[in-house]
Amino acid sequence: MVAWIGASLALMPVAGAQNTAQDLPVFGRSQAVPNPPPPALQNLPQGLPDLGDPSAALLSGVQERKLGESVMREVRGSGGYLNDPEVVGYLNELGNRLVNAVPGAPFDFEFFAMADSSINAFALPGGFVGVNTGLILLTQTESELASVLGHEITHVTQHHIARSLGNQRDAMLAMLGALAAAVLVSRSHSSSSGDMTQAAIASASGLAIQSQITFTRQNEEEADRIGFQRMVAAGFDPTSMATFMERLQRSTRFVEGNAPNYLRDHPVTTQRIADAQARAQGLPFRQVPDSLDFQMVRALLRSYEGTPREAVAFFRDAIAERKYNNEVAAHYGLVAALLRAQDLKTAQAELTALEKTAPPHPMIEGIAGQVLMQSGQLKAAITRYQAALVRYPRKMQLVYDYPEALMKDNQASKAATFLTEQLQRFPSDGPLHQLAARAYAALGKQLLQHQHQAEFYAWQGNLKAAVMQLELAIKAGDGDFYQLSAAESRLRAVRQELVDQEKDSGSNRRAG
Ligand SMILES: [Zn+2]
């Protein structure tokens, strides 16, 4: 279980309902006299505008975003980050629909998923919102998932994070330091042991829990209340927040003895459910159908559960017994599970059947391309990707897989051209840089290969590896003057970032 995140921003409630919020000393901490700021924050620029909110004065939007970005780089490099373009793409569509439903969001938001079956969602500083796959699978409707995201978005828009950093910044910095250490451990053991990562992250989690980094009860109440308004403004079912809280309470009732601390610290009281029900009662009933995307993303996540054989059996049974929310999604899940099981022939047959009944959909294009590519039909895959990209130019699964197919078909030069164009649209996209590194490696262009590999490592937060790659790029001797000076200036920038990071983690350790 990767529980560290929940510690700072636990969404929820738990069954341990005998713990009422009043019993929890943690909620009193906001009144504590702040300790002197740790060194990392003493260096922050003075004279920030006073917005009438002490926390906002302590940490500006720019500073909060910078902190969030650095945590996010660690998250991307930590084995738990789910690097699945379909899931990431969907979460960002849904999340931004909620963000844009109410004008005036303080940040560009980025939503992501953690491959973790425990039930959690969380907001990081600066507009980054994560959801565990366990929570996505627990939701039964898109509106339920929207209610969770609405709650987390509200922690960001209401500056709860800046406020919690204001009250408890020492603890927060200590947690970030511990997390960075966990990631470091996971890197040095990356080949052998996922357990090591888990253990290290669990200890970061333990530290965070000890540090009691939580939102106040008032923050949680506000996140429920304003998150509800946001969800309704975005057109979702008003009853879904209460429905999901009840589902959550049922699902955690049986694990009470083993419930993680963060869950015990954040009881979902009957009060919280009653409040959510009361809010919905004032509004006209609205039936909101789920998007096909929601159902397909859940099916895709389900296809990753258990062994490949178990996943195939799950969808076969569901289809045979008609136990699904959506028929197209169930068949899509079966194709995904068959692909995972490398049963390409059956996958192809099931896909053909699916396409006869399903409406046109980019996720079907994506999986069709994969079935073709993995079964070695490269020309057919390339043709299919080209047509699909005309129709869905922003679907990242297609954007990643098309150059992959080109490279497999020994068309690295065409892949490199395509990737260069895409990097102009998405300059900070890590996976695109990694693909570009491979395309240039195939073409024997070493400077460009190492430079793109460096950008991929930087995206993952591994600045040391990025520096090494940039040094290799400069030594390669196969670039022109402009390429060389670009690599040199990037090397200087990344080295500086590394120095800053080491300074910060030093002060984190002191703070912890
Ligand atoms: Zn919350």
Q: How is the chain split into domains, by residue range?
A: 4-12+40-169+216-281, 421-512
Which tens digits make up the pLDDT trace of 471-505?
Answer: 999 999 999 999 999 999 999 999 998 898 777 66
Return d(Cα 122, Cα 109) in angstroms, integer: 13
User: How high is the pLDDT of residue 21?
Assistant: 29
470 Cα–ligand 1 center, Å: 41
359 Cα–ligand 1 center, Å: 37
Collapsing DSSP states into helix, strand and coil, what is residue 105? coil
223 Cα–ligand 1 center, Å: 6
Question: Which of 142, 412, 405 is closest to 290 using CA atoms?
Answer: 142
Which tens digits make up the pLDDT trace of 256-296?
Answer: 444 443 354 456 778 888 999 999 998 887 889 999 999 99
119 Cα–ligand 1 center, Å: 13
Helices H / strands E in the chain, number of each: 25, 3
512 Cα–ligand 1 center, Å: 24
37 Cα–ligand 1 center, Å: 25
Q: Please compute the mean of the pLDDT values over residues 98-102 and round it to a whole number.
A: 95
Return d(Cα 414, Cα 373) in angstroms, integer: 17
Q: Judge whether 115 and 121 are in contact, CB under 8 Å.
A: no
265 Cα–ligand 1 center, Å: 12
Return d(Cα 267, Cα 27) in angstroms, integer: 12
Largest CA distance in the chain: 70
Residue 121: φ, ψ to 5°: -145, 155
225 pLDDT more than 60 = yes
Q: What DSSP character marks residue 266?
A: S
17 Cα–ligand 1 center, Å: 17
13 Cα–ligand 1 center, Å: 9
161 Cα–ligand 1 center, Å: 10
65 Cα–ligand 1 center, Å: 19
325 Cα–ligand 1 center, Å: 28
222 Cα–ligand 1 center, Å: 9
User: How high is the pLDDT of residue 124?
Assistant: 84
Question: Which of 318, 314, 378 is closest to 340 using CA atoms?
Answer: 314
What's this model's pTM, rounded to 2 decimal places? 0.80
CA atoms within 13 A on the CB side of 85: 16
What b/e sequence results for 327-351 when a residue is b if at least 16 CB atoms lie within 10 Å of its CB, and e otherwise? ebbbbbbbbbbbbbbebbeebbebb
Return d(Cα 398, Cα 373) in angstroms, integer: 12
Q: Name the residues around ion ligand 1, CB cutoff 5 A.
A: 220, 223
Question: Which of 139, 315, 355, 158 is closest to 240 using CA atoms?
Answer: 139
Question: Which of 456, 461, 454 is closest to 491 using CA atoms?
Answer: 454
Return d(Cα 367, Cα 370) in angstroms, integer: 5
Return d(Cα 39, Cα 74) in angstroms, integer: 21
